[in-house]
Amino acid sequence: MARPVFGREGGTAARGATVTRLDRDRPLVEAARRDPERFEALYRRYLAQVYSYAYYELGDHHDAEDATERTFLDALGNLHRFEERARPEDGDGASTFRVWLFRIARNVVANQRRGRRRHPVAPLEAAGLLASGTNVEAEAVRRDEVTAAWRAIGRLPADRRRVLVLRFVEEMSTPEIAGVLGRSEGAVRVLLHRALRSIGGELSGDRG
C-alpha cells in the first residue's frame, strides 16, 4: 500500500513507495488500539519528550503540564485516526507515531499560547540546575554558558526556536521535524541553518 510522507518534499517521489520496515512504535500502537489501557507504554515512552517540548515553548512548568495532559488525552482519544507512514529513508528508529503525537502537542501549545497572549520566555531558571559540580569556579562558568545559550534561543523567532528544540532536545531527524511542523525538509534545513548562525553569532560575541 502506498504511503504518504512526513513532509511535503518528496511527496511525488514517495507516492509509489511502500512500507518496507517497521515503525518503531507499531507494536505499542497496535496494543493500545486493541486495549486503550495499553496506551500507558506509549505515554511513559514519550512523556518527557512532550513535556520538554511544551516547557521550552511555554517557559512555565504549570503551562507545560497542562499542555502535556491535553496532548496525551487527545492522542488517546484519537488513536484510531493515527496512520503509520514510515519510509525506508526515515532511518532506523523512526516513529511516525512520535511525529503524529508532536503534531498534536504543537496544536495544543499553539492554542494555549493564543489564550495566554504572552511571549514565551526561555526557561532560564532551569539553567542553574544543569551546572552542578564540585568546582565552584568551573560551575559558575558553565552556568553562565548555559544561560547565554538559552537566552540566545529565547530571542529567536518562534519557528527557528522550535526547530532547534526539536533537533537538539527531542533529537528528531529533519524529516521528522518537517512532519511535525508541516514544512518541507528543505525549509527545515534552512531554518536550522539560519537559527544556528544567529545563535553562533551571538555566542561568539558573548565569548569575545
Partner 1 sequence: MTFGDREVPDVEALRTDRYLDALLAAAERRATDVPSGAELDPAIRLAATRLARDLVRVHPSFRFEDRLAARLGEAARAMRWRAAAGGSQTSAPRAFSRRPAVDPHLAKVEGDQDAHRTGRSEAMDPLDPVDPRHVRPLLVGGALTSAALAGAAWVAWRRSRPAPRSPMARAVRAARQARLVRGLS
By CB under 8 A, the residues from 167 to 206 that bind partner 1 are 167-171, 173-174, 186, 189-190, 192-193, 196-197, 199-201, 203-204
- Phi first, then psi, for residue 17 (nearest 5°) are -75, 155
Q: Is 64 in the site for partner 1 (CB under 8 A)?
A: yes
Per CB under 8 A, the list member of 11, 18, 22, 40 interacting with partner 1 is 40
Q: Is 133 in the site for partner 1 (CB under 8 A)?
A: no
What is the phi-psi region of residue 93: left when phi exceeds 0, alpha when psi lies from -120 to 50, beta otherwise? left
The gap from C-alpha 129 to its chain's centroid, in whole angstroms, comes to 22
Cell matching residue 14:
514517495
How far apart, in whole angstroms, are the C-alpha atoms of residue 135 and residue 122? Answer: 26
Per CB under 8 A, the list member of 46, 51, 82, 97 interacting with partner 1 is 51
Give whichever of 19 and 74 is closer to partner 1, judged by the CB atom: 74
Q: Is 95 in the site for partner 1 (CB under 8 A)?
A: no
Residue-level length of the chain = 208
Dmax of the chain from CA atoms?
A: 60
Contact yes or no for 122/57 (Cβ under 8 A) = no
Q: Which residues sit at the interface with partner 1, rule CB under 8 A?
A: 35-37, 39-40, 43-44, 47-49, 51-52, 55-56, 61, 64-66, 68-70, 72-74, 76-80, 123, 126-127, 130, 145-146, 149-150, 153, 164-165, 167-171, 173-174, 186, 189-190, 192-193, 196-197, 199-201, 203-204, 207
